[in-house]
Amino acid sequence: MAVSASSLEKTVVTRDNSLTILSGLDLEIKSGESVAIVGTSGSGKSTLLGILAGLDLPSSGTVSLAGKRIDALDEDARAKVRGEHTGFVFQSFQLLANLTALENVMLPLELAGVDNPEERAKSLLVRVGLEHRLTHYPKQLSGGEQQRVAIARAFAGEPEILFADEPTGNLDEHTGESIIELLFEVNRERGTTIILVTHDMDLARRCQRVLKLHGGKLEAQV
């Protein structure tokens, strides 16, 4: 099992009251599966994604990632699990502005102590069609090109599980479609588990399964 959660709750306490974001949620996602999490704004999609990825902790319940129960770990231990098993693609790209495309992809490889990080980063950028943009900085790249760099970086460590939060939200329709084709191509070729949050039902239906959240509860599994 790539990811699982049981009796998941997330409550945020404010000065005036408490807000329940997720309530009594159970799910299982198999290795190699592609799953979309959908729902209206405020339904808890991104919160759920963050908890499943170990970026956030639930208020109660259990979460397992790549066979490891992460809700009981501290941040350093969760970061180690993420580094060993996961990759991330965000709507806002999250590239480092002072690094070139090549350097952005090299960074996680260097941190992981991978041999020949430059050659591996180059091959990934060629794979996403950016061999002519290696030395360009993020501000010199279009939105679609930045997202391609982000995808190359996400796959740099050959993750078992890829989490994507609105990966096409800042892209035009044509560019978004090419990014999605790339994600699913890697899913098929490498058997990478893909878990994505999206408002786009056309994109969601491309996944093997759709999880619908409503009011913090899992309303349907399609």
Q: What is the pLDDT of residues 78-118, one digit of tens each?
A: 999 998 999 999 888 899 999 999 999 999 999 888 899 99
Which residue has tokens 């349907």? 220
Q: What is the pLDDT of residues 138-183, one digit of tens each?
A: 999 999 899 999 989 998 888 999 999 988 887 788 878 888 888 8
180, 128 in Cβ contact below 8 A? no
Q: Which residues pair with 88 in a beta bridge?
A: 163
Return the number of other C-beta atoms located less than 10 Å from residue 69's C-beta.
12
The pTM (predicted TM-score) of the whole model is: 0.90
Total number of domains in the chain: 1
Residues 6 or more apart whose CB falls under 8 angstroms from that of 38 comprise: 45, 197, 198, 199, 201, 204, 210, 211, 212, 213
- Residue 157: per-residue pLDDT: 84
Q: What is the CATH number of the domain that holds 141?
A: 3.40.50.300
Domain that holds residue 166: 3-221
- Residue 221: per-residue pLDDT: 64
